[in-house]
Amino acid sequence: MMERYARITRKLPREIVLLRGRPCIWGRCTFCDYVEDNTTDEAVMVQVADEVLGRVTGGLGCLEVLNSGSIQELPPAIWKRLRNRIRQTGIRELICESYWAYRERLDEVGRYFGIPTRIKIGVETFDAHLRNDVLNKAMLFDEPADVARLTDSICLLVGFRGQTREIVRRDIEILLSRFRYGCINLFTPNTRSAALLDEDIKAWFRQEYAWLDDHPTIEVLWQNTDFGVG
């Protein structure tokens, strides 16, 4: 059974919820099977939201909202319920995710919810060939500064075919030098992406970057369920 609520207390304390939203606007990344949790049935989305948001207490002051896509793919009825719950529980900060195609609309999120909002963008890697030709992200930009102008929080992916140690090192250096927050996901193969797995890069990263566990604003998902939802 899918777990849709968790509390994170060790680093960057927050409550975290996994809602159901509309299909991802892109939905063709080669490594992602999260889109299978999406739906076109708004009644189902509302039912899940009511059940899960009802568990939010506000006790940690921060809420992260996931929905197997972008915050923009939650319908207005869910945005309204989320805003009401934020106000009821005294949440002071919101964290959510957004795909690159929504980059001109990121400011709308914070304005609607009325609290400081941190939006994560899944860059996966700053190597353009790997990001777009291997992972099929359809995410084109000239330099890391183009992303840093939009957000101070990104996600990286480590452990897939084509990555080298040099590429991973560069990605981590960019993350640490240009962004305040980061989430590094170790690649977990699924039914859509088993051929992408590179166990050597994953094993090397585990040894080389174990120290990131002690970094105050960088989180590493050694397993894809480390946040307690999914």
Distances (CA, A) of 54 to 58, 94, 101: 11, 16, 31
| Res. 193: pLDDT tops 80 | no
Per-residue pLDDT for 167 more than 90? yes
Question: What is the number of other CB atoms lying within 10 angstroms of the CB of residue 178?
Answer: 16
- 199-223 residue pLDDT tens: 999 999 999 999 999 999 999 999 8
Residue 190, pLDDT score:
76
Q: Is the dihedral of CA 28, 30, 35, 36 positive or negative?
A: positive
Q: Taking all residues of the chain, what is their mean pLDDT, rounded to a whole number? A: 96
CA atoms within 13 A on the CB side of 113: 30
Q: Which tens digits make up the pLDDT trace of 136-160?
A: 999 999 999 999 999 999 999 999 9
* Distances 50 to 39, 69, 85 between C-alpha atoms, Å: 16, 19, 10
| CATH architecture entry for 5-221 | Alpha-Beta Barrel (3.20)
Please choose, from the candidates 83, 57, 65, 62, the residue with its C-alpha nearest in 3D space to the C-alpha of residue 21: 65
Q: How confident is the model at residue 230 (pLDDT cuts 50, 70, 90)?
A: confident
Whether pLDDT at 162 is above 90: yes
Number of Cβ within 10 Å of residue 220's Cβ equals: 21
What is d(CA 202, CA 40) in angstroms, rounded to the nearest whole number? 36
pLDDT in tens, 46-83: 999 999 999 999 999 999 999 989 999 999 999 999 99
Name the residue ranges covered by the structural domains of the chain. 5-221
